[in-house]
Structure 1
Amino acid sequence: MPKKISTAQVKDLLYDENVMLIDTRPVDAYNGWTLQNEARGGHIPGARSLPFKWSLYIDWIEIVRHKGIAPHHTIVVYGYQLKHIQDVAELFEKAGYEEVFTYSFFIEEWVNSSLPLHVLERFDKLVHPEWVNRLLKAEEPMLHIGKKVVIIHAHYRNRNAYLSGHIPGAVDMDTCALESTETWNRRSPQELKVALQQHGITSDTLVVLYGKFQHPDNADAFPGSAAGQLGAMRCAAIMLYAGVKDVRVLNGGFQSWKEAGYEISKRDEPKQPVLDFGVDIPALPHLFVDMDEARRMLASSNAELVSVRSWAEYLGEVSGYNYIEKKGRIPGSVFGNCGTDAYHMENYRNPDHTIREAQEIEELWRQANITPNKHLAFYCGTGWRGSEAFFNAWLMGWPNVSIYDGGWFEWSQHSNNPIEKGEPILDNA
C-alpha cells in the first residue's frame, strides 16, 4: 500500500530531482482554473500533470514514461479526490515503482496557505467545457462581463463536421475565410476585416474557438484535418494579429465538450454580421513575420526561426505535403519537433488532445536552445503547426513570439533562398 505524506514533508521534497509530484486533477485545474471553488488555482511547483482519467487508458504506463517519470523516482500523488489519488498511486506500485506516497491535504492545507503554486501565465485563455457551458446557461446567453461572445467551430472546407454536431450556439468558420488558398498565408487586412465582420466579430468580442478531431480520409488531406484543433489555433493566432482583444481556445476541442456530457446541437446557426470591426487591422502586426523579416532574424543572435515540423521534413527526406515539391529546411532554423509528420502535433498534445503542460514544452524547446529571451518565429509548412506552437508560447507568457507565416511553402518557392538537408552541423564554438 502507498504510504501517506504530510504537507511539511512535501514542502521538504520540493525541487528534489529524485522526486516526482503527480497531479491527478484535470489539466485545466493544473493550469490554474479553480474547478472546485478552491481559494487558489495552479499546481505544486515541478508537479507533472497526470489526470486520473488517463489512468483508464490502456497505454497509461507509456504516457508515464513519455513524461520522464522513471521507476527510480520517488512518487508523490495528489489531487482533488482521495480515491483518485489512491488509485493512481496503486497503479505506480503495480508498475514497479517502489517509493510511492499519497498526499491528501493539497486543498485543505497547501492551497489554503501561502505555499507556492504555479499557473500557466494565460490559463484563462485556454478554457474548459464547464466554463463554456456557463456562458450558454447565463441569464443573458452569449454575453460575458458585458461583452458579446461568439463561439467558433473552426474547420477546413468541411461544414459537415459542424453540421454533424457542435456546441450549441456556435457558428462555423472555414479557415479559408482567414487565410488564402493560394499561399496559405493570412489574408489581407481588408479581407480579414470583412471575414470577421461577417462572423459577427469585432475587436471587443470575446471569441471562443474549438475544432473537432477527424481522421483524414486519405493521405493527401490538408494538414490539420486529422486534428481540428490546429484549425482553431490557426484562426486564434490570426484573430489576435487582427486585433480581437479576447481570444480563447477550448482545451481539447469538441472532444472535451463531448466527454463532459454537455448538449450537442445540429442546428445550422445563422451568423450575425456586424458593421465595423472597430480598429485598424492589424492591431498587433508583430505577431506575424514575413520572408524579409525571417531572413533578418536568421542573421540575428537575438532571434530564432523555429521549425515546427517532423524530423523527416527537417532532414529533407520528405516535403510533408503533396503540393510542395522541394524538400529541406531553412538553414539556421532550429528544430521545434511537432511529432511524426505534417498531420500531427503529438509532441504538443496530451493523449486527450488537450495542450501539453508548459514545463514539458519548455523542456522540449530548451533542448534545442529555444528560450524566451529571444524573438522567436514559429513556422511549419503552411502555418498551422507553427500557429499551435506560437499559441503555446503565447499562453506561457513568452514576451516576443511570432509566426513566420509563409513557412516552408513560401521559402522553398524562391530560388534565391538557400536550402539545407541532412543532419544539422552544430556550432560548438
Structure 2
Amino acid sequence: MKRVSQLTALTAALGLAAFSSFAADMTHSLTLAELQQQKGAVIDTRVSAFYNGWPQALNGTSGHEPSALNLSASWLGAMNEAQLKAWATQHQLTQATPIALYGSDSDNQAVKARLSEAGFSHIALLGDALQIPARLQRLAHFEQLVYPQWLSQLQQGKPVTAAPAGEWKVIEAAWGAPKFYLLSHIPGADYIDTNEVESEPLWNKVSDDALKAMLAKHGIRHDTTVILYGRDVYAAARVAQIMLYAGVKDVRLLDGGWKAWDEAGLPVERGTPGKVTPAADFGAPVPGQPQLMLNTEQARGLLHRKDASLVSIRSWPEFTGVTSGYSYIKPKGEIQGARWGHAGSDATHMEDFKNPDGTMRSADDIAAMWKEWHIVADQQVAFYCGTGWRASETFMYARAMGWKNVGVYDGGWYEWSSNPQNPVATGERGPDSSL
C-alpha cells in the first residue's frame, strides 16, 4: 500500500470539507409554491428523456415540474461558460433569480457548481419535486422519441414503458452504402439507404408502389413498430416521416441518434445486415396518411393565412437568400409568404432544435421560437427545407409535441425554385412579412 503524504492527506481533507460544506448548502429547499411566490425558476437536472416524460422506473412518475427548464448535468461537458450564460439569458435568468434544482444528488451538485461559477447565488433544492403526479407536464407523445437504455431493455426482453404492441424492428437509415453501419451498429438493426425512399431529380419521395415494395423488402407491415436511428438524425427522420405517410402506425426515433447510443456505452455489432424475411402484404392501403405529404399546390394554399403556416426549416442565410444551401440547387431565396421555423447554422445542421447532447430541445423552447413567427399548434402546418430531411426531423418533433395537423411539403425549396413563375422573397425580413 502506498504511503500518503501529509500534503496529500491535507488536500483530501480540505476537499472533503469543501464538499461537505457544498452539500450542506444544498440542504436549503423550497416548495414549488414558495419558489413561485419568489418568481423563481425551476431547473430539472435529469436527462431530457425523463424531462420529456419517460418514467425513471417502470410505473414511476412521468414528466417534469410546471414550467421547469431542462439543464441536464450530462450536458455540462459540452457547454462552455459563454454557452451556459447564453442559455441563462435565453431563459431570462439573472444572477438575482431564485433557482430550485431537482434530479439526483450528483446531478444537482454538478449543475449548482456550474451555475455558481457563472455568478448565480440563489440556488436551492426543490423540496417537493416529482411528488405530485397530477401537476407534472410531459410531451404529448414522449414515447415517439425513445432513449438508448429503453431500447436496450426492449432488446433484452425486459418490461418497458410504452412497449410496442406487436412486432418491432430497429433500423439504421443513411444515404448510400452502409459504410459506417458495417463498422459498428446497434445489434440486430437493419439498414435502409435513403435512396430507397426518395429519388432524383428533385429528391422527392418515391412512388407509392415503390414505397410499398420497399416496406415489403424490409419485412414491414402497417402494424410493425419501427424504431429508426441515424448517424444524422434527419436521415432517420426522413425515412420515418415517409413510413408514416405510407401507413405504418407506430414509427419512433432514437432521440439523439447513433451518437446517443454510442455515448451510452451500450453493445454494438459489426457486419452486414441480417437476413430479413419479406412481408407478404402491408395489410393496409398505401398511403395510409396521405395528408402528411403536401405537393406544391397544397403548400401554396397555406400561404398568408392566419389558420395555417408554410414553415421554412432552413438556416437564416438560406431564408434571406444569401446562399441556396446546396451545391446542386442554384436559385437563392425563399418561398414568398413562408414563415421561418429556424434550423441551424447551415443546410447540414439543426442546432436550433437540439440540446447540447443532440437530443430534442424542450417543447416549450421550440413552441416559443415558432410563436414569434406566428406558427402555433392549432394551425395547419407544413414544414419544408431544401429536399425534405430537416423538415422531416422537425415534423417528428412537432408530432411528439402533440401538434395534430402537421405535414411536410415534399418538394421544398428545390421544387419551388425550379419554376420561375413561383413567387420568391429575398433579404432581411421579420415575422409580419408572412401575414
170, 174, 180: which one aligns with 2:193: 174
* Counterpart pick for 1:368 among 354, 369, 373: 373
TM-score (norm 1): 0.89
1:245 and 1:428 map into 2 onto residues whose CA distance is 34
Q: Select between 68-77 and 94-103 the one with higher mean Cα deviation.
A: 68-77
Specify the alignment match of 1:259 in structure 2. Answer: 263
Equivalent positions of 1:367-406 (< 5 A) are 367-406=372-411
The residue correspondences of 1:32-43 to structure 2 (distance < 5 A) are 32-37=53-58, 39-43=60-64
Offset of 1:39 from its aligned partner?
A: 2.9
Report SS of the residue matched to 1:365. Answer: helix
2:5 aligns with none
- Map Cα deviations across residues 91-111 of structure 1 (whole Å, 9 max, x no partner): 2112101211123552xxx33
- After superposition, residues 411-426 of structure 1 pair within 5 angstroms as 411-424=416-429, 426=432
- Point out the more displaced range, 88-97 or 240-249: 88-97
Which residue in 1 is equivalent to 2:100?
Answer: 76
TM-score by length of 2: 0.88
Gapped runs of 5+ residues in structure 2? 1-21
1:326 aligns with 2:348: no
CA contact (8 A) 1:152 1:173 kept: yes
Task: Pick closer, same or farther for the CA change 1:146–1:27 going to 2, 3 Å.
Answer: closer
* 1:135 maps onto 2:154 in alignment: yes
SS class of match (2:335)? coil
SS in 2 for 1:422: coil
- 1:6 Cα deviation from its structure 2 partner: 4.2
In proportion to residue count, which structure has more helix? 2
- Contact 2:212 / 2:282 at 8 angstroms: preserved in 1? yes
Q: Classify 1:138/1:115 alpha carbon distance in 2 versus 1 (closer, same or farther; 3 Å).
A: closer
Contact 2:237 2:253 (C-alpha < 8 Å) held by counterparts: yes
Offset at 1:115?
A: 4.9
Moved more, 406-415 or 174-183: 174-183
Alignment of 1:22-421 (within 5 A): 22-37=43-58, 39-59=60-80, 62-63=83-84, 65-66=86-87, 67-68=90-91, 69-79=93-103, 81-103=104-126, 105-106=128-129, 110-111=130-131, 113-138=132-157, 147-212=166-231, 228-268=232-272, 269-421=274-426
> Partner amino acid for 1:335?
W
8 Å contact kept, 1:155–1:161: no
State the shift of 1:71 in Å.
2.5
Letter in 2 for 1:240: L
Deviations 1:20-52 (A, max 9, x none): 211111110001111234631100011111111
Quick check: 1:314–1:335 contact (8 Å CA) kept in 2?
yes
| SS of the residue 1:298 aligns to | coil
Q: Deviations over 1:345-377 (max 9, x none)?
A: 000111111111111101111111111121111
**1:199-226, CA deviations, whole angstroms, 9 ceiling, x for partnerless residues?**
11110101000001xxxxxxxxxxxxxx
Given residue 27 of structure 1, which amino acid in structure 2 is its aligned partner? S
- Per the alignment, residue 33 of structure 2 pairs with 11
CA contact (8 A) 2:304 2:434 kept: no
1: CA distance, partners of 2:350 / 2:84: 16
- Relative distance call for 1:381 and 1:31 in structure 2 (3 A) is same
2:302 counterpart SS class: helix
- 1:86 Cα deviation from its structure 2 partner: 2.1
Give 2:112's aligned amino acid.
Answer: A
Does the 8 Å contact 1:204/1:245 carry over to 2?
A: yes
Q: Which amino acid aligns with 1:356?
A: R
CA contact (8 A) 1:241 1:284 kept: yes
Partner of 1:217: none
Distance 1:60 1:255 in 2: 24
Q: Say if 1:4 and 1:103, in contact at 8 Å, map to a contact too.
A: no
Q: For residues 72 and 326 of structure 1, what CA distance do their matches in structure 2 show?
A: 49
Residues 397, 64 of structure 1: alpha-carbon distance in 2 compared, 3 angstrom cutoff: farther
Letter in structure 2 aligned against 1:59: N
How far 1:12 sits from its partner (Å)?
A: 3.3
Taking a change above 3 Å as real, the CA distance of residues 303 and 428 of structure 1, as seen in their structure-2 partners, is closer
**SS state of the match for residue 109, structure 2?**
helix
Shift of 1:301: 3.2
Give me the whole-angstrom Cα distance separating, in 2, the residues matched to 1:115 and 1:251: 26
How far the C-alpha of 1:288 sits from its partner, in A, is: 1.2
The one-character-per-residue Cα deviations of 1:140-164 (angstroms, maximum 9, x if unpaired) are 9xxx655111111010114111111
Conserved? CA contact 1:89–1:102, under 8 Å: no
**Distance in 2 between the 1:257 and 1:370 partners?**
33
Aligned equivalents of 2:144 and 2:137: distance in 1?
16
Q: What is the deviation of 1:389?
A: 1.2
Distance in 1 (CA, whole Å) between partners of 2:423 and 2:112 is 53
Contact kept in structure 1, 2:203 and 2:387, CA below 8 Å: yes
Q: What is the alpha-carbon distance in structure 2 between the residues aligned to residue 96 and residue 322 of structure 1?
A: 45
Match of 2:14 in 1: none
Distance in 1 of aligned mates of 2:165 and 2:400: 24
Contact 1:44 1:117 in 2 (8 A): yes
Of 371-380 and 266-275, more deviation after overlay is shown by: 266-275
SS of the residue 1:263 aligns to: coil
Aligned residue for 1:403, secondary structure, equals strand
Q: Matched residues in 1 for 2:399 and 2:37: separation?
A: 26
Q: Which residue of 1 aligns with 2:16?
A: none
Letter in 2 for 1:56: G
Q: Secondary structure at the match of 2:298?
A: helix
1:428 Cα deviation after fit: 11
Structure 1 spans left out of the alignment, 5+ residues:
213-227
* Matched position secondary structure for 1:119: coil
Contact 2:339–2:434 (CA under 8 A) maintained in structure 1? no
